[in-house]
């Protein structure tokens, strides 16, 4: 049974319990065949020319207040990467999207866009992006490093990824639907605080 069954996390149920549930393979799993998966129109939009497939929804944690927390000073190139990613706040989640021309971004597409605009080489998909650096604990990260999740241990590699901003914050393109005030709305690029028990790890980059 796909997790979450309804396409989004239920806020009233313990997150740890939901994360421990069976998971549909992530959208960027190397062994996944998009052509073999039926597209569910309720799961969101897909960038033009990209085969549709269902992605686990990592968008359920509550949105933080927009407090404009100052990002720590870092290298100029890292600042550019962060700037380009934050410029896309509020853009729609689009599976396979990596530009405004496609209507929005998926998680790795947002990073691919920001790094390449800043002149930094970065692979296109999340499980390849984690190989760009060294896996570390979250407390070892600097602004401009990566935060990754693996929702399905039976399939190797990250299936969700975000950009670390410092002060425990990330910018991410969460998948498909989010529950806001009891209503389902389409996920958008957002900035938020990392939760304490999300099962994420850090990727230390050199650039």
According to DSSP, the β-strands at 134-136 and 104-105 are unpaired
Band of pLDDT at residue 156, cut at 50, 70 and 90: confident
79 vs 83: CA distance, rounded Å: 6
Cβ atoms of residues 62 and 179 within 8 Å: no
- Active-site pick, 28, 102, 169, 172: 172
- Active-site pick, 28, 55, 107, 169: 107
What are the structural domains of the chain? 15-204 (3.90.1720.10)
| Residue 15 CA to its chain's centroid (Å) | 17
Cis, bond preceding 4 (omega within 30 deg of 0):
yes
Residue 160 bears catalytic tag: yes
pLDDT for residue 143 is more than 70: yes
Band of pLDDT at residue 52, cut at 50, 70 and 90: low
- Active-site pick, 28, 55, 160, 169: 160
Token pair 């998926």 in the structure block, residue: 106
Token pair 């796909």 in the structure block, residue: 2
Residue 116 bears catalytic tag: no
The alpha carbon torsion through 59, 75, 101, 122 (nearest 10 deg) reads: -80
pLDDT for residue 75 is more than 70: yes
pLDDT for residue 19 is more than 50: no
Residue 107 bears catalytic tag: yes
Task: Report the pLDDT value the prediction gives residue 153, as an integer from 0 to 100.
Answer: 77
- pLDDT tens for each residue of 22-44: 333 333 433 333 333 333 444 45
- Full-prediction pTM beyond 0.75? no
């Amino acid at each position: 049974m796909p997790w979450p069954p309804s396409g989004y996390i239920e806020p009233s149920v313990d997150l740890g319990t939901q994360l421990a549930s069976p998971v549909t393979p992530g959208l960027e799993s190397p062994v996944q065949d998009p052509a073999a998966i039926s597209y569910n129109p309720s799961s969101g939009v897909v960038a033009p020319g990209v085969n549709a497939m269902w992605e686990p929804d990592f968008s359920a944690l509550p949105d933080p207040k927009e407090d404009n927390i100052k990002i720590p000073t870092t290298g100029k190139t890292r600042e550019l990467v962060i700037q380009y990613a934050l410029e896309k706040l509020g853009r729609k989640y689009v599976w396979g999207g990596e530009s405004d021309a496609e209507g929005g971004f998926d998680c790795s597409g947002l990073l691919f866009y920001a790094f390449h605009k800043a002149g930094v080489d970065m692979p296109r998909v999340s499980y390849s992006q984690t190989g760009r650096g060294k896996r570390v604990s979250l407390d070892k990260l600097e602004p401009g490093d990566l935060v990754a999740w693996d929702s399905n241990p039976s399939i190797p590699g990250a299936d969700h990824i975000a950009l670390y901003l410092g002060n425990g914050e990330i910018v991410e393109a969460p998948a498909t639907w989010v529950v806001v005030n009891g209503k389902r709305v389409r996920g958008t690029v957002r900035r938020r605080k990392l939760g304490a028990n999300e099962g994420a790890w850090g990727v230390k980059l050199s650039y």
